[in-house]
Structure 1
Amino acid sequence: MPASPSPHPFPLPHSRPRRRAKRVQMMKILYRSKKFLVFISSCVTLYGAAY
């Protein structure tokens, strides 16, 4: 993670912490699924290279 002054490109509403937590959860899920997709794509690439 790059150390930047503002980690979020969009301003977060400070009045609603619950919504922010939900957004963080969504980001975590997206990150996890992205990792999963990268893993699958790499497996497919290796499988394709084997043949």
Structure 2
Amino acid sequence: MTHLFGSGEKISIAVKFEGMGPKILDPRLAPIEPVERPWSGRANPLQ
């Protein structure tokens, strides 16, 4: 994840995957649900 745009129901998420260009995810088109963080209790690798 590189950026968050908007807020509430009008939020979009910018992500970058290895080998691909940046992508914008729109939760209205593809619902996104939180998952348990595998690094809980350890340093967050995304920071």
| TM-score normalized by the length of structure 2 | 0.26
Higher relative contact order (CA 8 A, sep 6+): 2
Higher helix share: 1
Q: Which has the larger radius of gyration?
A: 1
Higher strand share: 2
